[in-house]
Structures are given as structure tokens and as C-alpha cells.
Amino acid sequence: MNKKSRTRLLIATGVIVVVFVIGVVFLVQKQGAYYRQVADLTTGQYDGKNVKVGGKVIAGTIDRDASGVHFTIQDLTGKTDTVKVTYNGQMPNTFEDGVDVVIVGKYAAADGVVSADQLQTKCPSKYKGSASPAAQTGQ
């Protein structure tokens, strides 16, 4: 391999590495680096940042209008902290009062609102195994 070919190979490798690093940084910023609880948002360090938050939809807070769905979620760890959520994407079929959700979006501390880009529901009862017939009859 001559010197000119080696230089081109090094430049191409450098460009690929830089593009990869930029892509990773972009994805981490967009997705929120770590999963958070609602109570974590009250620290103020997440204002204006993308966050991934889990919580339980509080009964009676779901409101639908032309701009999307608005609801409030409560911390899953038993704390009383809540945060409002706005979302205008495709709604999961299992979305309802009391369901556990994970949202990804930008948090605005002044309003206490997460403008969600993604919404997923969890339904633990759906995935619990049923007892065997022997266990049900006490044998």
C-alpha cells in the first residue's frame, strides 16, 4: 500500500468514527439517557431535557382534544409526585386510567409537563401466568 492510499484510508476511517460518535451523542440526547421516576423530575436538573419516565396514569385525568391527549402520571415508587403529560401520537389499545406507562419527551419544569414523543403502556396482569389446575383445586 502506498503512502497516498494509506492517507486516504486513515481519513475515511476518521470520518466514519466522527459520524458514529455524533450519532451516539444525538441518540442519547433524544432518548433521555436513563429511565427516570416522576419524583426524579422535581430536582430541576431535567428542565428542557429529553427524559424517559415511568408512571401510573391517575384515574380521571385523561382529556382528549384536537391537540392530542393530556393526562397526569404518578410516581411508581409510592411517592406522591405527579407530572402532566401531553401526547399527540398513536395511542396504544391498552391505554386507560390506572395503567402503567413509559413516556419519552421533553420536560418543562415551569409547567410541570412532559411533551411526549413516545408512549408505551405496561399491563402486568396481562402477562401473569395462570395457576395450574392442581393449584386451583388445592390438590
Cα–Cα nearest to 115, from 53, 27, 29, 64: 53
> Are the C-beta atoms of 62 and 101 separated by less than 8 Å?
no
Say if residue 5 is in the same domain as residue 47. no
Q: What is the pLDDT of residue 136?
A: 47
In a domain, 134, yes or no: no
Say if residue 15 is in the same domain as residue 77. no
Say if residue 111 is in the same domain as residue 43. yes
Residue entry with cell 494509506: 6
Cα–Cα nearest to 89, from 64, 118, 63: 118
Structural domain boundaries enclosing 17? 1-31
What is the separation of C-alpha 126 from the centre of its chain, rounded to a whole number of angstroms? 21
Say if residue 25 is in the same domain as residue 39. no
* Counted domains in the chain: 2
Question: pLDDT for 39-96, tens place per residue?
Answer: 888 887 888 888 889 999 999 999 999 989 999 999 888 888 899 999 998 888 889 9
pTM of the predicted protein model: 0.66
